Amino acid sequence: MAIQTLTRIKLILKSPNTKFISIRLKTTSAEYVASRARDPTFDKLMKNYKNYLKVVSVQDLLLADTSNNSSLSLDFLSKLSQKLHLNHGASSFLRKYPHIFDLFYNRSKSEPFCKLTDKALQISREEAAAIEASRPVVIERLVRILSMSVSKSLPLRAVFKVWRELGLPDDFEESVISQNPNLFSLSDAPNEPNTHILKLEAMKPNFVTAVESWREDECNKKDSKVDESQIRFAFKQGYPPGMKLGRVFRGKVKEWQTLSYIGPYDQMGEKRKSKAGVKALEKRAVGIVHEFLSLTVEKMIEVEKISHFRKWFGIDFNIRDLFLDHPGIFYLSTK
């Protein structure tokens, strides 16, 4: 699926009229965000990625319509411009991507319509086939996400917000959840009307996290001089280009790397309010967010979306602050 996504991005970026939309996320410290080291390459990607998401939103609407051969009237799409964040209107946006959207006059309806080009349809079919072929993988991803929850359950609406990031099929409620009653169940939330809770019915023990796999790889490298005990609780560090690492900062990172913590899939005991206890809880939170990102197809997600899982994962820290406080592990883009 990642290959298909990159193909779609490349298809979008062929347009010479692509405009960049800049969105600044709110943080607890605007100055902190503004002064942090930047990664120009990633920020440039994110500018284009915002347009890609808009294209995908329109594409999903077209594919969902079966009454008009996967086509929709321009008037209908124009009414949805604000919801789809098409700032200059549907017509202007669609015309930027003639290799994706085909505008034509529907004689029977006597008005302009839009449909996907043959090339875009082909890519969509390939992506659907890739998702179907990876069904066992996406089922495990969903099991892993639920396993990180303190109650082994999550609001279904939260999963809906990240279905694409996790590589789930758009009908995952039927094709994944309902088809695997031995793993998943749905129930009404007792105190929230119209809210469904997705629960994990069968635990799969001994999940290995992405960071644990990295530690093992580091130790098993040819001629590796890494001592397993040195990186037992460490995370891979990689900083934005040009970021200055002061002596005090490096010392704090070195100390943090050796700090023990409870893993994302391990049972969390009573929360300690001591200074050491809070540090361990913060590192557990970092571990959970790191694992969550590792489970996504593109290894990235909007902060707002992952924040919906914070309470269910037992995280008492602001998600944006976690990203900002650990620039060697996470990069927060405001583009």
> Helix or strand or coil: residue 184?
strand
Query: Token pair of 48, please?
Result: 């284009």
One domain, residues 116 and 59: yes
One domain, residues 222 and 313: yes
pLDDT in tens, the chain (335 residues): 444 444 454 444 444 444 333 333 444 455 555 567 788 888 888 888 888 999 999 999 999 887 767 899 999 999 999 999 898 899 999 999 999 999 999 988 899 999 999 999 999 999 989 988 999 999 999 999 999 999 999 999 999 999 999 999 989 999 999 999 999 999 998 888 888 999 999 887 789 999 999 999 999 888 888 888 889 999 999 999 888 899 999 999 999 999 999 999 998 888 888 888 999 999 999 999 999 999 999 999 999 999 999 999 999 999 999 999 999 999 988 87
The DSSP result for 43-102, as a single string, is HHHHHHHHHHHHHHHHHHHHHH-TTTTSEEEHHHHHHTTTTTT-TT-HHHHHHT-TTTEE
Would 94 be classed as within a structural domain? yes
Query: What pTM value is reported for the model?
Result: 0.83
One domain, residues 84 and 189: no
One domain, residues 185 and 295: no
One domain, residues 186 and 228: no
Domain that holds residue 230: 210-325
State the average pLDDT for the chain.
87
Backbone angles phi, psi at 103, to 5 degrees: -90, 130
- Read off the CATH number of the domain in which 147 is found: 1.10.10
CB 120 within 8 A of CB 60: no
Q: How far is C-alpha 138 from the geometric centre of its chain's CA atoms? A: 14
pLDDT digits (tens, 9 = 90+) for 271-298: 888 888 999 999 999 999 999 999 999 9
One domain, residues 85 and 195: no
Q: How many whole angstroms separate alpha carbon 141 and alpha carbon 295?
A: 6
One domain, residues 10 and 98: yes
CB 218 within 8 A of CB 194: no
DSSP 299: S
Q: How many domains does the chain have?
A: 3
